[in-house]
Structure 1
């Protein structure tokens, strides 16, 4: 809220701070007094510290190509040829670049955003630069939206779950309808057999009646 952007006053009741609020006066003052702080709040920021001095003895600037916290390892052959590797916190190499430097000179292209200074004498010693990376509001929002609305996000996953459940229900309905059709066919067969049996019994009854009538007629 120091820069005029918030979801409401601290202590607001739950459910009443679901809209982003902008205080234009505070935001203008923050931009006028400390624009870098406002930028750092929204954008991803990273810092670099030389932790191992070898052929590189000083570093300045902010690394712009580091995708996360980790370290740059600068390998020197002692003749001015450099290879820079960015390694994440699991020591996986994510990025490499090559360049040159002279004794006591500087290089601003080997590592984007950083200016490195060489020792007065190059010996081939390896150097390391520790990088700290912090996500800004925009990066966090982007990551949240991706985790929610992306292909592997909550909405997509739940949608896939609903679709799978619907397919299961459809399959269960198909199986139920098949069983129902089998039962209907079975009842039809039983009813047809019952009708045939009834017809046979009626025919036998008629024949028996005729025989009884014949016997009674012959006895008179």
Structure 2
């Protein structure tokens, strides 16, 4: 290495470069601009809308599905997870189960903050609208809507009443929602799946609905209000 190279160190080079750029009163600011929205977060307006959607699981049987549901919600920006179970201890145990934590895959905070209700009526009491998701048509049921229609109605209410929540309701893995549970809801929705094989895992169904609702919120621009 030459003597000149040894004398010129990195700080000296930086000072020289700054001096060159300062000639003629030209100054260059190398400070990184602060973004208006913190990196890695949704805009505040979008967060406010998504926070008023309650995701209600009625008597889920598998802790892993609860954890996977938490992950599905967090990746789409939702965080209001509810469990309906008359057995409070059992509901709490599901959230602490190693399978739930493993399937949450980083969404443990949603499990820790999950809400509990003794009955579906209790969970839905504060909600303007509740959409029940089921693949089975019933003889007596609330008005049936397509997924797009149901989510649009829910979003319109969120926009009109900026303080009240809406609910997305999903039944137990094996049997789904009972007739009584279905009748507690405002509307019934189904997913456009293969009629010959229409069985979705609980967390998969939640993921589909959560994605479409998030997309609708962003498409209509409510996140900026």
Answer whether TM exceeds 0.5 for this pair: no
User: Structure 2 length normalisation: TM-score?
Assistant: 0.22
User: Which of structures 1 and 2 has the bigger CA Rg?
Assistant: 1
Q: Which has the higher contact order (CA 8 A, sep 6+)?
A: 2
Q: Which has the higher helix share?
A: 2
Q: Which has the higher strand share?
A: 1
User: Structure 1 length normalisation: TM-score?
Assistant: 0.22
